[in-house]
Chain A
Amino acid sequence: MSDGSARDQTRRPSPIEVRGLVNSFGERTIHDDLDLTVRAGEVLGIVGGSGTGKTVLLNSILGLREPTEGTVKLFGEDAASMTREQRDDIEKRWGVLFQNGALFSSLTVLENVASPLVEHSGLSATTIRELAEIKIAMVGLGPESHYLKPAELSGGMRKRVGLARALALDPELLFLDEPTAGLDPIGAAAFDDLILQLQRDLDLTVFMITHDLDSLYAICDRIAVLADKKVVTVAPPEELERSEHPWIREYFLGPRGRAAQAAEGNG
């Protein structure tokens, strides 16, 4: 982590603070008294087995799901007691990359990326188009992709376009839901580099759900582990390797975990 972002952390309030979160579906409790704080300027990875409620946590933070109990604070404001205007303002300060891109299928790539700008910026049409083109170039796609429809894109391209759309309004906070799932290893590594580079250049705070151990080692400053209906620990990957928690041990010290560590050590 650079000195700049370390200094920022003390200056800026934490963008996400979750306290005592409870989420239940009928009888089934997914989260029980879950606490999580995301620091400004960091890349936070969220890991956990299937069904531990990673996406439910994301949806609770984004306001797509009303938590059963507990508070979610966004940029220091309680999400539950926000006025409509505050909410609108916060929604412009974050960008979300959904698991399958969630691109608007009736719009071209360029229109998809331009859509948040058209809705919220008030810039001229030419400026919006140029800005969208820059965002598309930023995620590594060429001009030949501008007029394609989402149905014509490969999975990796769709994720890149989704990322470009999430970055359209230059958010401070970026949510990524399994950004490298379904990409080939080379594509996944390139996507990791891209996220890290953009995070540094644009000074983003990144909240990333992932299963990809390579991604965790490559780009995360800290990793939050979801298990036993809570965040059991939040720590840098090197520290998690020394954890005593059985699930964490298995996750990081299993064959795949060791391979990822070795790759990180060599690189």
Chain B
Amino acid sequence: MTPATFRIEARPEGRTSLALIGDWTSRSLGKVPLNLAAGLRGRSIDELDITDLGRFDTAGALAMVQAQDHALPLAGLAGRPEVERIVRLVQDLEREVGEPPRKADFITRFFARVGRGVYDFAAEGWAAFAFLGELLVAVVRSLASPGRIRWPAWVSQADHAGLDAIPIVVITTFFIGAVVAFIGVDLLTDFGAGIFAVQLIGVAVFREFAVVITAVLLAGRSASSFAAEIGSMKMNQEVDAMRVMGVDPFQALVIPRLAALVVMMPLLTFMAMLAGLLGGIVVTWTQMGLGPAFFLQRLVLDGTMPQHMLAGMVKAPVFALVIAAIGCRQGMAVGGDVESLGKRVTAAVVQAIFAIIALDAVFALLFMRIGL
């Protein structure tokens, strides 16, 4: 590949000749188009010399055509019919080249962005309520005719979203229990009340950590996979195919996922509670020399632990509903392109985690009122 250059020569009788040298292709031109336009300013080409021209393509033709306003003297190209063809093609198409649309100024763009944000927020809320309504109808119809519940889908979802999540949930809450125990033992020993670390671990794990950590993990694991699965089915027109076959996508896709999570989440939460306690036991045993038997005895004798456990377990199915509904709703909202799939999956996880934390706060207030 030889780099492209050119030579402008003044001929007798005030004529100008342009000689093209080297390869005039998109890969070898570089800044030549700009230099050529600058070199020819105010002059017009009367003759073309292409004896030293190598390869030539539409980029080279465009550079030549744009360098001057009026038609090129194509007679000089007679020796290379393909060059002449390309130049003619580009000459015809060059009229189509327009200016890029002007970008709006900063202030307009700022207000447009704010406006679109407000609109999107309202539209998202509206769509969420519409989905909730459709979901309620589907749930009622499922309960009215239990024969239409899809048990195989239900079981397979329970397997994927529930059983497969056990290792990660158990390991995470084990470490959370251990961390709470470390902090509790360290702080309470200063007051000579190290023994109360056991109750601290119990309350923290039963009431909050087990259920919230499980929910957050499931939001990352299941809300995203629900959104991606349903979303890619939607892109592939599978959801449309179901509709025209008379299959309600809510019955086939949403209800099994929802039901699977509502059943599996309390079970996962229970395992998380056990794992959290185990983490606490390991730490109190190694740090304070209090054995597992002593730990469990103190928990049982405390008497309020069942209440704390109940407070944790009550939240589990509610969180499960929220996670599954948000995941499925975002999946159903996926449009035709890949970009919207990515956006919706992200939105599913973010909204689910946000909803969990917000609901947890609501639960805390509620439990305080009713003294649970």
Please report the total number of B residues contacting A with Cβ < 8 Å. Answer: 32
Within 8 A of B (CB), among A128-154: 129-131, 133-138, 142-143, 147, 149-151
**Complexed CA–CA distance, A130 and B96 (Å):** 9
A120 at the interface (CB under 8 A from B): yes
Within 8 A of A (CB), among B5-54: 25-27, 29-31, 33-34
A134 touches B58 (CB 8 A): yes
Contact A202 to B86, CB < 8 A, known contacts A105-B337, A123-B30, A135-B58: yes
B26 touches A123 (CB 8 A): yes
In the complex, what residues of A have CB within 8 A of residue B25's CB?
170
Identify A131's interface contact among B62, B85, B337, B339, CB under 8 A.
B62
**Complexed CA–CA distance, A85 and B68 (Å):** 37
In the complex, what residues of B have CB within 8 A of residue A138's CB?
58, 89, 93
Identify A134's interface contact among B85, B96, B336, B339, CB under 8 A.
B96
A124 touches B34 (CB 8 A): yes
Q: Which of B97-105, B112-120, B153-161, B181-189 contacts A (4 or more CB under 8 A)?
A: B97-105
B96 touches A133 (CB 8 A): yes
Residue-wise interface mask of A (101-137) relative to B, using a CB-CB cutoff of 8 A (1 in contact, 0 not): 0000110000000000100111110010111011111
B335 at the interface (CB under 8 A from A): yes
B336 touches A202 (CB 8 A): no
In the complex, what residues of B have CB within 8 A of residue A106's CB?
338-339
Identify B93's interface contact among A124, A129, A134, A168, CB under 8 A.
A134
**Complexed CA–CA distance, A106 and B58 (Å):** 27
Residue-wise interface mask of B (56-90) relative to A, using a CB-CB cutoff of 8 A (1 in contact, 0 not): 01110011001000000000000001100110011
**Complexed CA–CA distance, A149 and B82 (Å):** 34
**Complexed CA–CA distance, A231 and B28 (Å):** 38
Main secondary structure of the interface of B (DSSP, over half): helix
**How near does chain A come to B87, taking the closest CB pair, in angstroms?**
10
A169 touches B26 (CB 8 A): yes
A203 at the interface (CB under 8 A from B): yes
In the complex, what residues of A have CB within 8 A of residue B90's CB?
134
A4 at the interface (CB under 8 A from B): yes
**Complexed CA–CA distance, A170 and B27 (Å):** 10
In the complex, what residues of B have CB within 8 A of residue A105's CB?
337-339
In the complex, what residues of B have CB within 8 A of residue A136's CB?
96
Residue-wise interface mask of B (337-354) relative to A, using a CB-CB cutoff of 8 A (1 in contact, 0 not): 111000000000000000
B94 at the interface (CB under 8 A from A): yes
Within 8 A of B (CB), among A1-38: 4
**How near does chain A come to B166, taking the closest CB pair, in angstroms?**
34
A92 at the interface (CB under 8 A from B): yes
A200 at the interface (CB under 8 A from B): yes
Count A/B pairs, Cβ under 8 Å: 84
**How near does chain B come to A80, taking the closest CB pair, in angstroms?**
24
* Residue of chain A at shortest CB distance from B66: A130
**How near does chain B come to A109, taking the closest CB pair, in angstroms?**
13
**Complexed CA–CA distance, A123 and B28 (Å):** 9
Contact A124 to B27, CB < 8 A, known contacts A134-B90, A134-B93, A170-B57: no
**How near does chain A come to B19, taking the closest CB pair, in angstroms?**
21
**Complexed CA–CA distance, A169 and B28 (Å):** 11
**How near does chain A come to B65, taking the closest CB pair, in angstroms?**
10
Identify B97's interface contact among A123, A124, A130, A168, CB under 8 A.
A130
A117 touches B62 (CB 8 A): no
* Residue of chain B at shortest CB distance from A147: B101
A121 touches B82 (CB 8 A): no
Contact A121 to B339, CB < 8 A, known contacts A130-B62, A134-B93, A138-B93: no
In the complex, what residues of B have CB within 8 A of residue A127's CB?
29, 33-34, 59, 62-63
Most buried by B among A131, A136, A138: A131
A122 touches B30 (CB 8 A): yes
Identify A169's interface contact among B27, B97, B336, CB under 8 A.
B27
Q: Please give me the 4 A-B residue pairs with the lowest Cβ-Cβ distance, nearest first.
A: A170-B57, A151-B337, A137-B96, A137-B93
Give the interface of B toward A (CB within 8 A).
25-27, 29-31, 33-34, 57-59, 62-63, 66, 81-82, 85-86, 89-90, 93-94, 96-98, 100-101, 335-339
Cβ contacts A to B, 15 pairs, < 8 Å? A117-B26, A120-B26, A121-B26, A122-B29, A123-B29, A124-B31, A127-B63, A131-B62, A134-B96, A136-B96, A147-B101, A151-B337, A168-B26, A170-B25, A170-B57
Known: A168-B26, A170-B57, A200-B85. 14 other contacts (CB 8 A): A4-B81, A105-B338, A117-B26, A123-B26, A130-B62, A134-B90, A136-B96, A137-B93, A137-B97, A143-B96, A150-B337, A170-B25, A201-B89, A202-B57
